[in-house]
Amino acid sequence: MTQWIYLDGQYVTKEEAKVSVYDHGFLYGDGIFEGIRIYEGNIFKCHEHLVRLYDSAKSIMLNIPLTMEEMEEVLCETIRRNELKDGYIRLIVSRGAGNLGLDPLRCPQASVIVIVEQLAIYPEEAYLNGLRTISVSQRRNIPDALNPKIKSLNYLNNILVKIQANHADVGEAIMLNAQGYVAEGSSDNIFIVKNGVVFTPPCYLGALEGITRNTIIELCEELGYKLKEEPFTLHDVYVADEVFFTGTAAEVIAVREVDGRVIGTGQAGPITLSLLKRFREVVTQNGKKVYEA
Ligand code: PMP
């Protein structure tokens, strides 16, 4: 079946979907993006993702050539054309084509791309048994330099972490911030559970304000778990009863080992599993229905 991609106002095939080598997203990582899931024809937290996209755009002074409502319709139409019910949306807005200098003023028109695909990131077994993970030497970008709240196309900080994770043969890794507090994973937020209380670092320490993270915070309240957004260190991770990552692609995935320390019982803990169960129930409900008028 042909895969259709939205590219600057047109729906083109994957083979036809080409961008300029002068695009500043390519030359400099100048642009922003979103990764969004679609579950049973529902774009989960579509509005929240679009708000984060338009906030990132405002922060980097990027003029998105579509309103939020038009963008939502583009997402729906791309999904419909690909007849997708479950999958992943990658929405990219780059600064567009300019010259070889880095000045964004030379880029007259931002470029908008929407790709939708099937997605399977971890096998189901990993959600029960948990991932092995490590902490890495690479520190999270400091907010004063490039704020991790901006979901920019510049992912080299994260990629360097992924390289260390690959080298250690683990699926995800933990990044600290410059002060040594736990920040997040290479592409996920992190939570720990200790004595029944759920902790996650405040995003000002250097983390993306994850849509999944915020959903888990809501679900903690719904399920009656005490949730604290406060700084913690690697030591707290090592001695936690449960550790898990959250992200659009990864959903809610347990960690069974960090830097050789076994976490809790060495498999997904009860609070992690109950949050995952409830998460998988709400993902079909809260968002934008693609196939309804
Ligand atoms: N942190 C980083 C660095 C990410 O790339 C992602 C994935 N978008 C997340 C956290 C999780 O965010 P979300 O739950 O919105 O996917």
Shared domain check, 162 and 27: no
Shared domain check, 258 and 142: yes
In a domain, 69, yes or no: yes
Shared domain check, 158 and 142: yes
Nearest Cα residue to atom 5 of ligand 1: 187
Task: State the DSSP H helix or E strand holding residue 159, giving kind and residue range, or none if neither.
Answer: helix 156-167
* Angstrom distance (rounded) from CA 90 to CA 220: 28
C-alpha distances out from residue 151 to 148, 195, 236, 281, Å: 7, 33, 27, 27
The strand pairing partners of 43, in sequence order, are 38, 288
Ligand 1 first shell, C-beta below 6 A: 35, 158, 184, 187-189, 208, 210-213, 246-248
Nearest Cα residue to atom 10 of ligand 1: 188
In a domain, 33, yes or no: yes
Nearest Cα residue to atom 9 of ligand 1: 188
Shared domain check, 47 and 147: no
Q: Report pLDDT for 58.
A: 98
Mean pLDDT, the chain cut into blocks of 10 residues (293 residues total) = 96 98 98 98 98 98 98 98 97 98 97 95 92 97 96 98 97 97 98 98 98 98 98 98 98 98 97 98 95 79
pTM of the model: 0.97
Q: Are 213 and 246 in contact (CB under 8 A)?
A: yes
Domain hosting residue 20, numbered range: 4-117
Shared domain check, 200 and 87: no
8-state DSSP, 203: G
Q: Report pLDDT for 293.
A: 62
Last residue of one domain, picked from the residues 62, 82, 117: 117
Taking the CA of residue 35 as reference, the ligand 1 atom at the shortest distance is 8
Shared domain check, 70 and 10: yes
Token pair 């360097």: residue: 160
Q: How many domains does the chain have?
A: 2
Last residue of one domain, picked from the residues 117, 135, 169: 117
What number is the ipTM of this complex?
0.99
Other CB atoms within a 10 A radius of the CB of residue 34 amount to 22
Is 151 known to be catalytic? yes
| Catalytic entry in 14, 45, 151, 226 | 151
